[in-house]
Structure 1
């Protein structure tokens, strides 16, 4: 579900009216933190309870081992396994803001994609950020999530979701900005990432300067065979600027200088995670 406005009430109304015959769990992606492993455990527990309720599970009254002590791979085997006469038994997972701050990292999205393609799981989710599709590659979109897209502009205020925005900004601004920048960079070409790294390394080594002169960046990129012309470099810079990864300001001597609007610690962490 996408479109302007909160979709929280819409999704919950759908769950309470159309999904009453199934086990349902709700993930609030707008919360500052979400434990993905606990999500998988909860889905497994709900599926098991649903099986017991139907009295069609032939494996006993409880699993051999508590789900909380099982490995993630074992949990996925259970969620995607063959259950006797239970082809239509599944858990519906409702995710508010699957593009929320706590879920934007690659690992969380990979887990959610694996959950979505399990045979005993069905997923419905909402997105609100215009760049949310950048979180997924082709395999995730077409094979794992396999989304059906619905445009549902509710124009409803983000009353519940908005409560947590100040908390996120106050407690984890740098961490969250780094996470968002990493998601965007990983969607770009290897050459673009290498250009960004050159700029980042220069900024860390010359913290007192206004930024890196465009000509200097071009020279270094040519030396490393990352760009063949100024036009190629400009296309990378335009992409960086569009995503607010890089900004420009004028040096006292009149040169245009590029800089990354991140604190040094955040920039160092970003370079470490950008493989």
Structure 2
């Protein structure tokens, strides 16, 4: 297998690309026929196919956009294949057009109609049997996200705490009044932090947070409202004060 990567290959995406290039252009193809045969015996992995079996590719820990991007990039190699199961009827909606083209799935209905006892037995590290996200879980997720993701979450967190403070003395629903409209966040990204993206790209970024239960999106009167379903202390300590 690959024990180490070249010095310039550091990010997950570059490592993924490096692996696919080796699979598509194995070193053996540049050798003479006699040397190829010897090379196949000594390094069989250079010409064999790699099949990845993945249970619940739409599970909570796998359905992040980064994970799906990496998997879809891997299977673009001619000798890398993936066999996966999905649990949700609408699982295909988590892939954008580009990812679907890369995966090029051949669908097979293999419904068991059995209770999901095994899947439900393992609680997410983000929760302790409740909807509340733990401090450890918040930091764990932020460590795995890009600076743009973190900056977006910090903006939303600062907005939410500011409104909560302003509404503290008022008899209003705190969660509703501390939420931010999607279009307001989009305007801030475009005008204040100079983060150029389309509405669709922003929604794709936000999906990372909703997958990890760091953001709730509620719709009312045709408007999307964003809020962070965490305690004030966790928002301040683990999001606003977060420093990678």
Normalised by the length of structure 1, the TM-score is 0.44
Higher relative contact order (CA 8 A, sep 6+): 1
Normalised by the length of structure 2, the TM-score is 0.49
